[in-house]
Amino acid sequence: MAFDKGIVVKSVGGVFTVLSGEQKYVCYAPKKLRYNDFDVLVGDRVVFERLKHGKGVVVEVEARHNKLTRPEIANVDVCFIVLASQPQPDFYLCDKILINCFQEHIEPIIVINKSDLPCSISDKVYADYNGIADIVCVSAIDDSAKILYGYLKGSKVACFAGQSAVGKTSLLNTLLPGLQAQTGNISEKSGRGVHTTRHSSLYKTEEGFLVDTCGFSLCELKNIRSDELRLYLDDFVTVAHDCKYASCTHTAEPECAVKAAVECGKLSKSRYERYIEECNELKQAEKNQY
């Protein structure tokens, strides 16, 4: 028997396309691999038994380092958080995606798209996010977006996330010339509707892989408690060592190093204000649970 390793790039009705080297195999998975968490997902690294005629059987699913729910996809390494000067950036959403990336061990890259247009947001983006994530300026209508391939080196898997109309689909089309997904403002509202019924696939690029559906689940905060939110903001965590209380939430506590850093301009004030708002939002949601 011949065993090979590969990555699941497509899944439709229990048929998995596994890419191994340059070769694709049409694979099935025995039932025992297909219960709950062991279900085989796009993005899974698998061991499969090679059969004749390009077919195979998945025999093992490697441990996942994360799993997104919308789309259902395993082992996402990188998230391109797309912003543009048009439509006006939603930094609040950007923060949420960053928090989710931190929680899911995904490397966030802030992508300022539409840099062919007069751009007024890069100063603001650098002021808020410099040191938290890499920041790159690109345009989906020229070759500049190719710089994003660099983040996929080592067969990494990347998805796009961000508000509607910033150019996520356009960037995908630029980076995957064969894909030609629909651009515009087609029913992408909150990611429900058309897009959830579609199957997500991985597309191999010159370097790693791109997910063809945006990471909608990265746009909402889930499973994070208001008093733990502070632990998911990298820049706050570094400074918080000097807070008087180890459990300081940087709100009402005395001798708070985070608040001091905001006062003296070491931490972004607007980012702090959004943190407070997110905290309150989570607190409210916690209250509503009871």
Site membership for Zn ion, residue 229 (CB under 5 A): no
Least distance (Å) from ligand GDP to the CB of residue 196?
Answer: 15
Count interface residues toward ligand GDP (CB under 6 A). 17
The tokens for 39 are 């279900």
188 vs 80: CA distance, rounded Å = 18
Site membership for Zn ion, residue 256 (CB under 5 A): yes
Residue 139 binding result from Mg ion, ligand GDP, Zn ion, none, given CB thresholds of 5 to 8 Å by partner type: ligand GDP
Among 220, 201, 112, 102, residue whose Cα is nearest residue 159:
201
Among 81, 90, 6, residue whose Cα is nearest residue 40:
6
Least distance (Å) from ligand GDP to the CB of residue 96?
Answer: 16
167 vs 140: CA distance, rounded Å = 7
Least distance (Å) from ligand GDP to the CB of residue 219?
Answer: 12
Q: Which stretch binds ligand GDP (CB under 6 A): 68-76, 125-133, 159-167, 255-263?
A: 159-167
- Three-state DSSP class for residue 22: coil
Chain residues that interact with Mg ion, rule: CB under 5 A? 169
Q: Which stretch binds Zn ion (CB under 5 A): 70-78, 200-208, 238-246, 269-277?
A: 238-246
Among 158, 166, 141, residue whose Cα is nearest residue 107:
158
C-beta separation of 253 from 245 below 8 A: yes
Residue 12 or 117: which CB sits closer to ligand GDP? 117
Site membership for ligand GDP, residue 215 (CB under 6 A): no
Residue 268 binding result from Mg ion, ligand GDP, Zn ion, none, given CB thresholds of 5 to 8 Å by partner type: none
DSSP readout, 188-209? Answer: -GGG-THHHHSPP-EEE-SSSE
Residue 243 binding result from Zn ion, ligand GDP, Mg ion, none, given CB thresholds of 5 to 8 Å by partner type: Zn ion
Site membership for ligand GDP, residue 188 (CB under 6 A): yes
The tokens for 83 are 């912003």
Among 71, 108, 167, 208, binds ligand GDP (CB under 6 A): 167
Site membership for Zn ion, residue 243 (CB under 5 A): yes
- Segments in the chain forming alpha helices (H): 91-104, 122-129, 168-175, 194-197, 234-240, 257-263, 269-288
Among 66, 164, 238, 270, binds ligand GDP (CB under 6 A): 164
Among 183, 104, 162, 117, residue whose Cα is nearest residue 144:
117
Site membership for Zn ion, residue 271 (CB under 5 A): no
Parallel, antiparallel or unpaired: strands 78-83 and 107-112: parallel
Site membership for ligand GDP, residue 177 (CB under 6 A): no
The binding site for ligand GDP (CB under 6 A) comprises: 113-114, 116-117, 139-141, 164-170, 183-184, 188
